[in-house]
Amino acid sequence: MTTQTLDAPKTADADQDEKVFHYVRKNKVAESAVLGTMVQALCGAVFPVTRAAKPGSPVCPECKEIYESLPGGGGSE
């Protein structure tokens, strides 16, 4: 019998959680907040939603870059 090692998903750093907010799918936010399920941000960070961002809150630079490059995102296209 052999054992296979799997890579762990990228998780949001506890320090980083307090400093920035990540972009996640809208339809997963409420589910995560109520049920405590994990969500995956555009940057790949995986975490449960525990707080809502307020206007002017700092955003993960990697999430922001990915979001702005998407069609219909915040880009200037």
Residue 31 lies in a domain: yes
Which has more pLDDT, 74 or 27? 27
Q: In whole numbers, what is the pLDDT of the chain averaged over residues? A: 81
Q: List phi, psi (to 5°) of 48.
A: -85, 145
**Could you tell me which residues come within 8 angstroms of residue 65 by beta carbon, excluding any fewer than 6 positions away?**
none
C-alpha–C-alpha distance, residues 43 and 23, integer Å: 8
User: Quick one: which of 28, 60, 29 has its CA closest to 45?
Assistant: 60
Residue 3 lies in a domain: no
Confidence label for 18 from pLDDT (cuts 50, 70 and 90):
low
Residue 19 lies in a domain: yes
Residue 54 lies in a domain: yes
Q: What is the 8-class DSSP label of residue 54?
A: -
Terminal alpha carbon distance of the chain: 54
Q: Which residue segment(s) compose the domain that 40 sits in? A: 14-69
